[in-house]
Structure 1
């Protein structure tokens, strides 16, 4: 078990060794609350509608499929959309950088490339989200800017906030870092416009289910329905380098696959040796992992795209709130 896995186990399953960290957690909570109060007091109007999609926990919660769904819904309305992001996991240190469908995931990060490929929208990376917003306005004059993460980046003005919560893991022990997984106190959820829960029910949240699409070959040109893939490949190596790999493995089990799971760190930079399994069984991974493995993909490597399935009308409600139309 890695250090990160050990810490997360303590956060979500309880551990007495975390208790001595409580004074530090209280300081983090107080500072987060102070920054939020200051933001509310001196906040400036966003120059264009800005919708922030973030979370209050460390690690992934399923934001990227929601961002993709929001971009597509906005584009269906005829709106011009730009996404701004930090680009975690990338190697570039020259910002701002604009990500397109052909960008290298190992350089700019897996999630920005995935968003660009699925939506065709420009994705602007900069740790300074406010600067990314200015670049978006200058270069694209968008009708809407969507921030992938950045909830705690209070230099970024916004017109609406959406928080995504992992419904399976919840908020762990409910403590702020380092005793728990929270970036801000749980009370922050009461102040955002929408709370979305992935993978399980969450009181007061709107559910979001990940619906699998067809299973696709990393080498391209070959696509199977999940049912046809199961008939041809009932047993696979399942690979996941995401915030909650268990969610992906559970989905594969629901589809009826017999899996050998392989967990990698979120945003892992894959090498061919990582996936060199000796038995010749197919390798099935998330789409987020696939964007980093295409350059050295083998014929028996596959990925499973998913679509965010939300209650009817919810995407429109979020867009209307961001656009000031509700």
Structure 2
């Protein structure tokens, strides 16, 4: 979602809402403390016995809005599969019709039923994917259909009904203050939980812009968890109606093109296209917008149109021949993969 101006930097509106933000912070902290105490009690009762079931890795947000979680998950899946581990994914299926009954996502699923990002993953990877608003129910549903070694939870950091083994938090560093804006909790700011929650996080990743040649962790993270950087880079475009037909982004230079994005921070997509030298006419939609053919009736059909991968899965049925998809590639810090794999291999389920 796009942030209101007063989330970016403190002003009278954020200060006016600060009492409500303090209440949200207290409630969020108490919820996490209850979860933490229950986890400690469960670990104590288990004693030296090996954990059962798959390792659960949560990839989540501390703030509202997009941060680059799904491209990161697309990077994680082949990394974990390369180690010989069976991987599954659970998600809410944002803006989907799925409520409290787990539903498996297949490449032919309806995006209105399962959500755009889970469908995008299902069309890219041969792994079991289950969506449900209740993450614990999604996990149970996944394990009922296929045995896996590692389950990646797309978001779900604040869903404390879901037991987890590792937590990874992603920030969009292109937003003000390295992704936390004014640093206040909802509704005065973008934080879902206070920054103190990061002290128990295993890894923090900053999705920084390509223009950030040198990037250092922000002051508010000093003394916190392991911190790494990555960047999202646009790859060659492919035709939505003919995915085998590809074209370099530079081929679009010198002609006006539409740029369509229904995501949490569409300006980032537009900036990447502009940085690539394209003359774009940006059209931003709400995050997870349910695209229909009527959304494009006012577009000049002779102009090429570029869109994101997650928007493309909702436009396949009515795509025109000059609509192109811009997939992203993750440029990850070299040492993160080694650190994550080391943390996983320290778990008793993976000790050889």
Class of the TM-score when normalised by the shorter of the 2 chains: over 0.9
Query: Aligned runs of 1:1-326 on 2, under 5 Å?
Result: 5=2, 8-43=4-39, 44=42, 47-93=53-99, 95-169=101-175, 170-200=179-209, 201=215, 202-203=217-218, 205-220=227-242, 221-227=244-250, 229-231=251-253, 234-276=255-297, 277-278=299-300, 280-324=302-346
Within 2, Cα distance between the matches of 1:274 and 1:136? Answer: 35
Higher alpha-carbon Rg:
2
Kindly report the root-mean-square deviation, in angstroms, between the aligned alpha carbons of the 2 structures.
Answer: 1.9
1:253, distance to aligned residue in structure 2 (A): 1.1
Using a 3 Å threshold, how does the CA distance of structure 1 residues 304 and 154 change in structure 2: closer, same or farther?
Answer: same
CA drift at 1:154? 1.0
**1:320 CA displacement:** 3.5
| 8 Å CA contact 1:199, 1:247 repeated in 2 | no
Aligned partners of 2:300 and 2:268: how far apart in 1? 26
Displacement of 1:323 in angstroms is 4.7
Cα deviation code 1:164-203 (max 9, x no counterpart): 0010111111111111111000122222111111134443
**How far apart are residue 280 of structure 1 and its match?**
2.1
CA contact (8 A) 1:100 1:120 kept: no
Contact 1:163 1:194 in 2 (8 A): yes
Moved more, 126-135 or 147-156: 126-135
Q: Is the 8 A contact 2:170 2:206 kept in 1?
A: yes
SS of the residue 2:160 aligns to:
coil
TM-score by length of 2: 0.86
Q: Deviations over 1:204-244 (max 9, x none)?
A: 531111122210111013111223x335x632110111111
The gaps in structure 2 that reach 5 residues or longer are 44-50, 210-214, 222-226
Gap change, CA 1:114 and 1:319, over 3 Å in 2: farther
Report if the CA contact (8 A) 1:50-1:322 is conserved. Answer: no
CA deviations over 1:260-287 (Å, ceiling 9, x no partner): 1111000001111222312621110111
Please list every run of at least 4 consecutive aligned residues from structure 1 whose deviation after the TM superposition is greater than 4 angstroms.
none
Alpha-carbon distance between aligned partners in 2 of 1:33 and 1:192, rounded to the nearest angstrom: 14
SS state of the match for residue 307, structure 2? strand
SS of 1:119's equivalent? coil
3-state SS of paired residue (2:334): coil
Q: Per-residue deviation at 1:103?
A: 1.1
Secondary structure of the residue aligned to 1:114 is helix
**Cα separation, partners in 2 of 1:172 and 1:301, compared to 1, 3 Å:** same
Is residue 257–residue 304 contact of structure 2 (8 Å, CA) maintained in 1? yes
Q: Deviation at 1:102?
A: 1.4
Tell me if the contact between 2:101 and 2:137 (Cα under 8 Å) persists in the aligned partners.
no
Q: Which moved more, 1:306-315 or 1:176-185?
A: 306-315
Unaligned runs of 5+ in 1: none
Distance 1:93 1:148 in 2: 16
User: Distance in 1 between the 2:149 and 2:315 partners?
Assistant: 34
CA contact (8 A) 1:51 1:322 kept: no
TM-score by length of 1: 0.92
**Cα distance in structure 2, aligned partners of 1:323 and 1:155:** 25
Cα distance, 1:39 vs. partner? 1.3
